[in-house]
Amino acid sequence: MADLFLDGQYRPALSLRETERAIKTIKDFFQLHLAKALNLQRVSAPLFVRKGSGVNDDLNGVERKVTFQVKDDNNCDAECLFSLAKWKRMALADYGFAPGEGLYTDMNAIRPDEENLDNLHSVYVDQWDWERILTKDERNLAFLKTIVRKIYGVLRQAEKAVAKRYPAIAPILPEWIEFVHSEDLLKAYPDLGPRERENRIAEQHGAVFVIGIGGVLADGQMHDNRAPDYDDWTTETGKGHRGLNGDIFVWYPPLKRALELSSMGIRVDRDAMLRQLEIRGVSQRVQQEWHKKLLDERMPLSIGGGIGQSRLCMFLLRKLHIGEVQASIWPQDIVRRCKEAGIPLL
């Protein structure tokens, strides 16, 4: 049975049609202001790539990809993307972007092996994927924090715009976002697991960026898994800390938990990728075309990430279930329980 959070007192602030109008308003507003804040240009992105190209994200390495054969191309194998993390960096080079410039696009993915279909997790994933070229001097923690603050500023702008249009939805985001390294979070809450640590720190500050996700911490565990060939989670940043990536969390009162809105980071350079491939025991990936391009420095240094579209809409409209802002497939048990609780799934 799904681990759903249900509140018998919950009533949506907006009707179904009002919700659909609000979703469009939020998406139009957010992408416009994100592009302005980070100097990004919208581009078109693929839904699928050739199998074995090295472009797709492997997530935790065990999830099945949706695959099919292209009949008119010698039945070549294609697979739906899990994310655009690698494709974006390649596109920056192919399209001729310069340092300080970047791109964003709509990313739509299908993750059939999602095992925790609940208030926040769906088989269907939609997000704004963005990527921006940086210089060698910008590959540091200070620059990462600068970009995080700009994104958080757009989040606050969007929340204020929603509150102005729908007065029943009051702003709750704090003025500033807090930064904490995953290693320090472990020290602060050594008896808690990663998700509970996120809950504690998000409730305490309202908004937080957890730095350094993917590497093994002092307890021998990862805060969360990350692929070895896009985010840099091994570069030393001082005070025994490693990693130039992280996640943006906000405290979400309707669910009484932390809500991850974005995963992002400075991408691997040649040395970081080789180091991380070796750590994960997948050094053979250097034979794939995407990895060869990076090793030959045919792709620029970059920073990038994804921002959940449905999660953002869910947060800004104070919805209790992500199915209220996206159309997906849900187990009949979830459909039934949501209907009984007055949660209108799209």
Single out the catalytic residue among 31, 83, 111, 231.
111
Catalytically annotated residue among 263, 276, 302, 309 = 263
Helix (H) or strand (E) holding 211: strand 207-211
Give every strand in the sheet of 67-70, ordered side by side: 48-50, 76-80, 67-70
Angle between helices 309-316 and 16-38 (to 10 degrees): 120
In sequence order, what are the beta bridge partners of 181?
Answer: 211
Contact partners, residue 161, CB within 8 Å, separation at least 6: 25, 29
Which token pair is 313?
């809409």
Q: Measured between alpha carbons, how far is 200 from 243 in angstroms, rounded to an integer?
A: 22
Query: CA Rg, the chain, in Å?
Result: 20
Judge whether 247 counts as a catalytic residue: yes
Q: Report d(CA 327, CA 150) in Å as an integer.
A: 30
Q: Which two tokens stand for residue 342?
A: 């007055």
Can you tell me whether residue 21 is helix, strand or coil? Answer: helix
The tokens 């919950």 sit on which residue?
10
Which entry of 31, 122, 127, 310 is annotated as an active-site residue?
A: 127
Q: Contact, 212 vs 243, CB < 8 A? A: yes
> Would you call 77 a catalytic residue per the annotation?
no
SS3 1: coil
**One of 31, 57, 83, 159 is an active-site residue; which one?**
57
57 is catalytic: yes
Q: List residues bridging with 78 in a β-sheet.
A: 50, 68
- Number of helices followed by number of strands (H, E) in the chain: 9, 13
- 10 Å CB burial of residue 212 (0-12, 13-18, 19+) is buried
Whether residue 127 lies in the annotated active site = yes
Per the residue annotation, which of 79, 126, 231, 260 is the catalytic one?
260
Tokens of 165: 């249009």
Alpha helical stretches, state H, 96-223: 141-165, 182-188, 194-205
Give the residue numbers marked as catalytic.
57, 111, 127, 247, 260, 263
